[in-house]
């Protein structure tokens, strides 16, 4: 389960969700922010750009789409 922000909802039944992860550098102790964008399957039309969603991994639905929306937060 990952939590991220919807960046794009222009595709049919697909959202682009950006997940931001934070970690601490082992030597310098600075907080590093890493982000990754996932293509996510969505059948609910109530989710728009800017919403926060929870996503889960599932079987591959296409070449790049292997997550689905679990719930809108």
The tens digit of pLDDT for each residue in 15-67 reads: 999 999 999 999 999 999 999 999 999 988 889 999 999 999 999 999 999 99
Region 2-13 average pLDDT: 96
pTM of the model: 0.89
DSSP state letter for 1: -
Cα 4 to Cα 16: distance, rounded to the nearest angstrom: 10
pLDDT score recorded for residue 27: 97
3-state SS class at 61? coil
d(CA 36, CA 16): 10
CATH number at residue 18: 2.40.50.140
Predicted confidence at residue 52, as pLDDT, reads 97
Q: How many domains does the chain have?
A: 1
Query: Residue 45's pLDDT is what?
Result: 81
- Residue-range definition of the domain harbouring residue 16: 2-72
């Amino acid at each position: 389960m990952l939590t991220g922000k919807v960046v794009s909802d222009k595709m049919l039944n697909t959202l682009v969700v950006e997940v931001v992860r934070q970690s601490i550098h082992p030597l310098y102790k600075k907080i590093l922010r890493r982000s990754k964008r996932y293509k996510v399957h969505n059948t609910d039309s109530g989710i728009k750009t800017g919403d926060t969603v929870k996503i889960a991994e599932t079987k591959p639905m296409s070449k790049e789409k292997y997550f689905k929306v679990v719930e809108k937060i």
